[in-house]
Each structure stands twice: as structure tokens, then as C-alpha cells.
Structure 1
Amino acid sequence: MNNTEIVSKLWGLANVLRDDGITYQQYVTELTYILFLKMMKEQEMEAVIPEGYRWDDLLAKEGIELKEFYQGLLLKLGSSEVENERLRQIYNGAATSIDEPKNLEKLIKSIDELDWYNAKEEGLGDLYEGLLEKNASEKKSGAGQYFTPRVLIDVMVKLIEPKIGERCNDPAAGTFGFMIAADRYLKEQTDDYFDLSPEQAEFQKKEAFTGMELVKDTHRLALMNALLHDMEGRLEQGDTLSANGKWMKNFNVVLTNPPFGTKKGGERATRDDLTFETSNKQLNFLQLIYNSLVTDGTGRAAVVLPDNVLFEDGVGAKIRQDLMDKCNLHTILRLPTGIFYAQGVKTNVLFFERGTKDEGNTKEVWVYDLRTNMPSFGKRTPLTENHFGGFIEAYHAENRTKVEDERWNLFTREEIGSKGDNLDMGLIVDESLSAYDNLPDPIESAEEAIDKLQQAMNLLGQVVAELKSIEVKAGD
């Protein structure tokens, strides 16, 4: 059984918990609590877990005794009595959503029966990442609303080219996907760091990759993901846009996909080191990202941002001007619609390098349009690295002006300035023959409609059952 099959089997166990009213997101969090214990056993790392609270202790219990023991285990492992900080963080504030003891027992026994030998051969970190990706791709889970597709992460990492000894950061870490991809990229080049000196390998493991995540449960998943990839860099839980995020500075590389939207109620960021005040989250993240880069000529970033960042006027124009002064904004990739699970979201990747001085760094901006006249992406037409082939070739071209590709266009700093520093540019002519070309995939739409109808039928069934039970009681 390979990791893909194991992920499918683990995902299928979510059905066991439907009777407990558990959401997919709660299921993945619950699974994290249980999988951690099993994976520590498989990796012979159970020493970090207090005796009496390990996998075999859990497996030995049944029924009500199991449920009570599991509840106590979650409290114990998240308590201050536990020495290992990562372990405490993963279980901090943990509580089970499973009410029915038999469902908990089935979940634990089903996990124990999986093919863990092959899972270890393929890598437990890859198995867990596959589970997170599965959760994000499931529309009903809601977890993937702005989940960054793995292929896009990998392309961004390859183009940014992190190096050994560099400090890398994601200020909106999510489940730590960007940093794990950067770590994987460097491990592939250095035989899993065995080519490095002990000091270099220690730096890569403990200092090279850092991040911060706002949502507590997502941070828990990120910690587990990092642990299974043998990464121990600083990974904080908190609001990057508050004073708690001020520790993030002097990075060689930033790779990120910040959250979209504005602060609740138009509230402004509470960081006091932002030059421009705005309630727009992306504009705040953009500011803190380019200001967090080192100014020795090595600081660089690749950031996913929605279209409004390119054209919003007022403070938006001032931030873009500041960005182009302090950094060389050399490339913008206009991404296709539909690659994020929230349909219709229009996004871009901005690639920029921090200058050694704070003015006049952007002379020209190259824009690649990967949006117009592209397939409708979704489950039936997944995004692959092949779709980025033309862009990667243009990006790496020794002489970019010689690239013959209609999607690839150059704009001088003067041209951009004459348009009020508006960067919403570079889209080619849409050759769609019909307005119907951009309609959602009919099969996916039908499947979604069926799913909603099924949910409505289940709800009606519950209502009818409740009414019948009331009638019976009235008859008595």
C-alpha cells in the first residue's frame, strides 16, 4: 500500500465520525492527535512522550475506558508538565470532538492496521502532507479556500533558489508547505544534508526555516508537518500583523501566500513598524515582507497576492511605489483562475529582490500572462508543472528581450509611473469565442448540486424522525 492509498484510507475513516457531527477540519485535527502517537512509535521516537501515554497504552483500551483515557491523554500532553516544547505545542488546548467511544476505537484500530512499513519507506512527512492536501481539495471541508497548490509552491521555490545557510521565512505559514518545499529542494541537492558539515546541517534543521500562523488548529497541523520533516525552526502561533510578528526580519528568502481580505471591522494592523497604514491585509503583508528582507543583495521573495494589490489606489499606490523603490520588482506572474479552491479568485506571484539602497531599484517589470486563454482548472483538469513551462523558460532566459512568447511582456518603470504605479497589466487578448467558455465544469457543478441535495435530504430525514418521536410521546 503506497502513501496515496493510505491517505485515501485515512480520509475514508472520516465517514466513521459523521454520526458525531464532526467536520472534515475537526477530523484532520483529531487525526493529528492520534497519528502523532502512532508515528512516534513507528519512528522509535516515543521517548519524547511521557510513559503511560503512548500508542500501545491507547491501543490497549476499549469503550468508555478508552474515551476517558484519551481525554486525559490530550490534557496531559498539552500540560506544562511535559518537557518537550513541540509536543506541548501540538497538544496545547487539545480536546476531542468524538462523543461515541466505539467510533474512537474504530479510528484507532483502523490506523494501527495500516501498512506502516511502506508508509515509512515513502516518508511519513509526505504521508501527512498528502492528508493535508486531500483535506484542502475537498470542497466540503472548506479548508482549501485559499490553499496553495503544491505545484505552484514547487515552481516558486525552484525559481527563488534557496541556498544552504540562508534564512527562509513564511509570515503566513499555514501548514508550513512553502518551508517544507524549500527544505525538500535543498535536501535533494545535498543528499539529505549528508553532504554538509555538522554545523551546516544543524543550522538547516534548527534555524533555516521559520514562520508564523494565526489560526491555532492550523498552527498545530504546521507543527506536526515540520516535525515529520525533521524541521525544528521557529514556528510561532500568533498574528504577524501585530507586535508579536516583529521578530521576523533579516531574511534571505520569503515565500508566502498571505490571507486575503481586510481586518475585521476595517481594523488596522497593530504593528508599529509599517510605513503605511491600511486595513488591507495583503498590502500590510507586502510591506512587512519587503521590509523583512536583508539589504546585502541576497534578500528576495516570491509572494502570492490578489489582483487588487496591483491596482488599489491611494495607500495601495504608495506601497507599490515604496516596493519598487526598495526592491527590484523584476517579474509578475498572472496566475490562472480556478487553481485555488475558491472559484473566481484572481491572483499573481510577485518576484522581487531587496536592493542595497532604498531608492530606484526597479528599472523594468516583466509580466507573464498565465491566465488568459488557459484551460478551466479543477479536479478534472489539474494544474501541472507543464503549464508553467513557458514561464519558467522566459524567467530563466539569459536575454529576456529575445524570448518569443506573446504572454511575456516588458514594462519600464517610466511606463508604470505614468499610469499611477498601477501594475494591473500584461494580460493578452482573450480569444474565447463564447461567453460560455468560462462557465464552471458542468460535471463538478452537478456533483456539488447532488451533494447539497443529499445534505438537504438528510436534514429533512432528521426533522421527520424528530416529528415522529414527538407524535409517539404525545400518543403515550
Structure 2
Amino acid sequence: MATGNGHGFVDLPEGKEGPPSMTTTRDSVARLWSLCDVLRDDGTSYQHYVTELAQLLFLKMAKEAGQEEALPKGLRWDDLKARSGAAQYGFYQQLLLALGRAPHRRVSAIYANARTALRQPKHLEQLVDGIDALDWFSAREDGLGNLYEGLLEKNATDIKSGAGQYFTPRALINTMVALVQPRPGERIQDPAAGTGGFLVAAHEHIKARTRDLRDLGEKEATWQREQAYTGVELVPETQRLALMNCLLHGLEGPRGGEGAIQLGDSLSGLGASLPRAHVILTNPPFGTKKGGGRPTREDLTHSTSNKQLVFLQHIYRGLAPGGRAAVVLPDNVLFEDGVGQKVRTELMDLCDLHTLLRLPTGIFYAQGVKTNVLFFTRGEQDTGNTKAVWVYDLRANMPNFGKRTPFSSETLKPFVAAYGTDPHGKSPREDEGESGRFREFTREELSKRHDNLDIAWLKDHGQHDPEALPDPEALSAEIEAELQSALREIQALTRLLTEAPVEDDEEAA
């Protein structure tokens, strides 16, 4: 059975058709992705596919959405389409430079330092003609933002693109948003925004419950579009994609500013300056701080080069009292000793860590790591907020997810039912015992485990069906990612050992 995911897309079993509009959107995404053949012929790398397409696509979408007034006259889609060959290629290069200096700050932020990776004018002309030939009437009906997000999702699920690190599966995003229930008037933050999926999903969630913000007053609706959302993204090219994604979904960011998603590092002073949020939804990057150094946050209690532990501190300290968070984190955050244990203890003191979801493997195959979602609420007081943690094991005895077995909202339905309707995890729950997937662990039990949250009780019988094995591409990507991660850890440790004496502190532990 098909299930909606909150973005206009429908999660369908492979080979099944959806409603005509959904099929049209999917067809349009497939046609857009097929244009990557042109990019490949031009020698463009996988990493530049979506950036190259998006730079052109945004011009066309601005025209289709009737929003070209933000673009300077003479630097719009029709101006590019009217040219051909070398003249078009030269004009496009100048257009990108000019848009990077456009008076409209959101446009200039999107095109800051933009350049084309194309080398031959004929390939640019093929891309322009291919984009222009899409069914734009249907795209407008389905929502231009949905078409753009479909392209981002297609890029992320293509192993060779390497974009999986910037993209959280749509079904997981929508479920996390639905469970924490962001509301109008709340500040919503993603300190590791990627392509903006969490903020866009939160905005769509609120719009769906306010008749596209029409139930709000004019002042409240304006605040919701321009002030409610805050994101930070470290990688310039990813921020460019995120800004486009937000604008196409009507999420504008501060008036006169660059947009809802800032370019920067949440692990620096920028993160400390962010306003406290009522809701934080995020999937922080995995690994250590680049170069092996420690993040430059002076406001956090526990210093470490482990980025996830620093992000976790930022999140629970960045919540307003009563604020809710849902955060994707790798297994090492649950069991790491030393600073890891201290961060978990502080988390459970400051917040009510009410639910932990152990995710199946194969979702983030680009990194090849095992992940979890932590759901917690910032307490009114600073101690004793966690009384018990409910753990849902969705990892044991689950399929190997990938192209053959896509991860969808259907997979998460049993967890959603067990979680309940209260965003703070206060719905009535039933401990299913050692043979079930959902169990309660009291704060006293966790203290005896030294606050180790890596809890598993189901025996995993594994997959014996050859058809369920991951794709060879996914397996090789996982192996490569594991080796790269191990190399980074070794390099970081080497720098720490050679640059300073080993101290008997959290890192030495």
C-alpha cells in the first residue's frame, strides 16, 4: 500500500505506479537525472551533477513560479534560452558571475562563487533544451519544490554521486518531524542543515495544518516564513542547494538576509550565537573535526574532537525549556567512554531522553555506519529529567536496505505506533519484553551500565536470502567509507600525539 510522506511524494513498492501527478513528478525527476549523461560526456564529475543542473534549474523554476523579479533583467531563463552555441556558453559564464553579485541577497547567496564545470557549448545547449522540454505545467501543479527535492533525493541515492552524506532518507525525516510536531510560532533549527530537508519538512508539516499558513494572521505568517527557521551548513555547494530548496518551498529566511540557512560552522562561535530553539531536527556529520583539531566552542562543557558529541552538546544546550529534539547519531555516541559518557550523563540530566530508535543498516550506505535517532525534551530544571529511556530496536532481523529493498515510511509504521501521539514521549507505552522490539530502561538501570545506551537484546539471525543481499556497489561504498573513516581517525590521533602531550582527560580516556 502506498503511503504519503508529507512532501507530495508517495513511497511506492518498486514497479508500482502512483497517482498521475506523482508519476509525472517521478518521470520529470528521471528525465532530469538522464541529463547527467550529457554532463558525463562533458567530463563533469558525479559530485558536480546536481550543482550544475540546479544552477540552470533555478532560473527556469523562477520563471515558472513567477518569481523572476528577484533576478536582474537580462539575466533570466529566456535570455539564456534565446542564445545558442558559443554565444550561449559565454553568456552563461557571465550570468553566473553577475548573479553572484545580484542586489537580491538571497539570489547572490545562491550563486556566490558559482561557475560552470561544462567545457563544451553544445552540452550546455543540450541541458538548456532538456530542462525547457520538461512538463512544466504538471511540475507547477505538483509543486516545483517537490521536483527539486526529487532531484536531490535521486542524487543522494545514487552511490557514485557520494551525496548520501548530505541527505537523510525522506521517510525518516518525515517521521521525525511528525513525531516532534513543530507548531506555528516555534523556532526550528538544524545546525547541520545539508540540503535543508529537515527545515523544509517542518515547514510543510506546519503549512499542512494551517491551510498553507492562511489560518495564521498576516504578521504570524510572515514570521513563520522569514524568522521561524534557522539552519547552518559548512559546505558552500551544499548550502547553495539548500537555499534553493528552501526558497522553492516558500521558506524565505530573514528579510534582506541571505536565506534561512547560513554558511558556517555550528561548532564555532556561530553556533553559540544561534537563538534558543523550540525544536531541533538534525543529522550531524559523522567523524572527527577536520585536521584532528577541537571545535572552537567555548560555551560547551566537554571538549573533544568528536563532532557528534559536540553537536549533541550544542543541541541539548540550544533547546529552550520544554523544547524538543530528534537527532540522528551513530552508535559510537551511545557507548564511547570518557567524554562520551559525560555527555550522555549531562544529556539525561538536562533533558528527558525518552526514546531511542535503533535504525536498520543500509540507510546511510555512503558512510557505512550504524545509526540511531534520539528523541528528547529539554527540562525546566537542570537535573534529573530522564526517568527512563524507551529503546525501539528496528535493526535486528531487518532486511538489508538498498536499491532492491528501499527504506520507506512503511518500515517505520510500527515504531510510530509504539511512540504514540505525544511529542514529548508521554503517551501510554507497553514494554514488549525480551522477545519484542520496544523496551523500557530506568535511569537506575542505565547508571549501572555507566550510562552506556548501546542496548540490544534481540538475537539478530541475519539475512539468508541471496536476493536480500546489498548491491555490490553499496558494499564497496561501505568498505571504502569505513577505510576512509578509520584513516581519518588515525590521522587525527597522530596529530594529537605529535602536537601536544597526552593529558589524562576525556580524549586520553
In the aligned structure 2, how far is the partner of 1:355 from the partner of 1:322? 12
Note the C-alpha offset of 1:142: 0.7
Q: Map residues 194-343 of structure 1 onto 2, 5 A cutoff.
A: 194-233=214-253, 234-295=260-321, 297=322, 299-342=323-366
Which residue matches 1:124? 144
Q: Is residue 151 of structure 1 aligned with residue 181 of structure 2?
A: no
DSSP 3-state at the match of 1:33: helix
Provide the residue aligned with 1:41 in structure 2.
63
- With the length of structure 2 as denominator, give the TM-score of the two structures: 0.84
Structure 1 SS opposite 2:459 = coil
- The one-letter code matched in structure 2 to 1:168 is I
Among 433, 437, 445, the alignment partner of 2:464 is: 437
Shift of 1:392: 1.3
Equivalent-residue separation in structure 2 for 1:8 and 1:49 (angstroms): 28
Residues in 1 aligned to 2:59 and 2:286: alpha-carbon distance in whole angstroms: 34
Aligned residues: 442
In structure 2, relative to structure 1, the CA distance for the partners of 1:416 and 1:146 (3 Å cut) is farther
Structure 2 counterpart SS, 1:400: coil
> Higher relative contact order by CA 8 Å / sep ≥ 6: 1 or 2?
2
Paired position in structure 2 for 1:420: 450
For 1:105, the equivalent position in structure 2 comes to 125
Contact 1:306 1:346 in 2 (8 A): yes
CA contact (8 A) 1:416 1:423 kept: yes
- Secondary structure, in 3 states, of the residue corresponding to 2:223? helix
Q: Runs ≥4 in structure 1, deviation > 6 angstroms?
A: 446-449
Aligned-residue offset at 1:382: 1.1
Deviation, structure 1 residue 114:
1.2
Instruction: Tell me the residue number matched to 1:401.
Output: 430
The alpha carbon displacement at 1:441 in A equals 4.8
Distance (Å, rounded) in 2 between the aligned partners of 1:74 and 1:444:
39
Aligned equivalents of 1:312 and 1:388: distance in 2?
A: 27
1:260/1:282 contact within 8 Å kept: yes
Give the direction of change, closer, same or farther, for the CA distance of 1:427–1:95 in structure 2 (3 Å limit).
Answer: farther
Native 8 Å contact 1:249 1:291 kept in 2: no
Unpaired runs of 5+ in structure 2?
1-22, 254-259, 422-426, 477-509
Scaled by the length of structure 1, the TM-score of the pair is 0.89
Amino acid at match of 1:425: I
Residue pair 2:193, 2:282 contacting (<8 A) in 1 also: yes
Find the counterpart in structure 2 of residue 383 from structure 1. 407
Distance 1:147 1:73 in 2: 29
User: In structure 1, how many angstroms separate the alpha carbons of the residues matched to 2:81 and 2:112?
Assistant: 22
Identity level (%): 56
- Measured after TM superposition, the shift of residue 447 of structure 1 is 9.7
CA deviations over 1:235-277 (Å, ceiling 9, x no partner): 1001111112222231000000000000123210011111110
Residues 431 and 438, structure 2, Cα contact 8 Å, conserved in 1: no
Query: After superposition, what is the alpha-carbon deviation per residue over 1:442-467, rounded to whole angstroms, capped at 9, x for unaligned?
Result: 57228999xxxxxxxxxxxxxxxxxx
| Equivalent position amino acid for 1:187 in 2 | K
Corresponding residue number in structure 2 for 1:51: 73
Pick closer, same or farther for the CA change 1:145–1:437 going to 2, 3 Å: farther
> Displacement, 1:127?
0.3
From 178, 183, 199, the counterpart of 1:179: 199
Counterpart position of 1:75: 97
> For residues 427 and 388 of structure 1, do their structure 2 counterparts lie closer, same or farther at Cα, with a shift above 3 Å needed?
farther
Q: 1:171 Cα deviation (Å)?
A: 0.2
**SS of residue matched to 1:226:** helix
Larger gyration radius, structure 1 or structure 2: 1
C-alpha distance in structure 2 between counterparts of 1:124 and 1:28, whole Å: 16
Instruction: Return the offset for 1:420.
Output: 1.0
Distance 2:465 2:271 in 1: 40
Q: Deviations over 1:405-431 (max 9, x none)?
A: 711111111111111111111441223
Q: Is the 8 A contact 1:146 1:340 kept in 2?
A: no
Going from structure 1 to structure 2, the CA distance change for 1:423 and 1:146 (only over 3 Å counts) comes to: farther
